[in-house]
Structure 1
Amino acid sequence: MYAVLLLLSAIGLEVGATASLPRTRGFHDPGWSLAVVAGYAVSIWLLSVVVKTVPVSIAYAVWSGVGTAAVATIGYLWLGESMNPVKALCLVLIVVGVVGLNLAGAGA
């Protein structure tokens, strides 16, 4: 359970850092730039702690898959990015893939 909480924290930090990238203005805003770099650094550090107890293939798939889906959703809901049926289906497929990897890993 501890690893799951750390992984969720890592995902949250990575998603927050990625969603904040536009505010860096190409890394010309020092405050936002520092926040983004720190968010990524702590996220990767947490992921490295998680892989001590969770297989890296599972941890990374969850971290990147959930993060990708979350950033795409945030982009659509709050950053004015487009969404169409194909993009939505692809996001669903990412989540299905992550779930499938977890189920396959649970049986190993």
Structure 2
Amino acid sequence: MHIWLALAIAIAAEVVATTALKASEGFTRSLPSLVVVLGYGCAFFFLAQALRGIPVGVAYAVWSGAGIVLVSLIAWIFLGQRLDMAAVFGILLILAGVTVIQLFSKASAH
């Protein structure tokens, strides 16, 4: 499996799990709680696969940065979470940081 595909799957699984975490209502609802556990398990499995070829610092920066951006977008669009300008600016900085790593870092496995 391509290492960047593994990282993309890890990110998607983490986003699904984190979104379901809200719906689990503190692990009091069974189905969302199961999605959380399976999602995080899948996320860590594929993150471990990605670490076979991507330095841990780079992989974690991309994984967490992309997760923050995607979860924030989902919360805004589907859960009605309001983001003020400081939050939007901070999220844009995270996105910019991940982009810089991908485009310019020699530490990133291309």
Q: TM-score, normalised by structure 2?
A: 0.90
- The answer to which of 98-107 and 63-72 deviates more is 98-107
Once the 2 structures are TM-superposed, how far is the Cα of residue 106 of structure 1 from its aligned partner? Answer: 4.3
Once the 2 structures are TM-superposed, how far is the Cα of residue 24 of structure 1 from its aligned partner? Answer: 0.8
SS of the residue corresponding to residue 25 of structure 1 reads coil
**In the alignment, what sits opposite 2:82?**
82
Q: Is the 8 A contact 2:24 2:30 kept in 1?
A: yes
Question: Unaligned stretches of 5+ in structure 1?
Answer: none
Question: Unaligned stretches of 5+ in structure 2?
Answer: none
* Identical amino acids, percent of aligned pairs: 35
**What do the CA deviations read for 1:8-31 (whole angstroms, capped 9, x no partner)?**
111001001111112111101122
Please tell me whether residue 55 in structure 1 is matched to residue 73 in structure 2.
Answer: no
**In the alignment, what sits opposite 1:12?**
12
Give the paired residue count: 107
Once the 2 structures are TM-superposed, how far is the Cα of residue 101 of structure 1 from its aligned partner? Answer: 2.5
**What do the CA deviations read for 1:55-94 (whole angstroms, capped 9, x no partner)?**
1111110000000011011111111101122111111100
Alignment of 1:1-108 (within 5 A): 2-102=2-102, 103-104=104-105, 105-106=107-108
> Which portions of structure 1, spanning 4 or more consecutive aligned residues, are displaced by more than 6 angstroms?
none
For the residues of structure 2 that align with 1:106 and 1:56, how far apart are their CA atoms? 10
Per the alignment, do residues 106 and 39 of structure 1 end up closer, same or farther by CA in structure 2, a change over 3 Å counting? closer
Amino acid at match of 1:49: Q
Relative to its length, the structure with more helix (as a share) is: 1
Backbone CA RMSD of aligned residues: 1.6
Amino acid at match of 1:6: A
For the residues of structure 2 that align with 1:82 and 1:106, how far apart are their CA atoms? 34
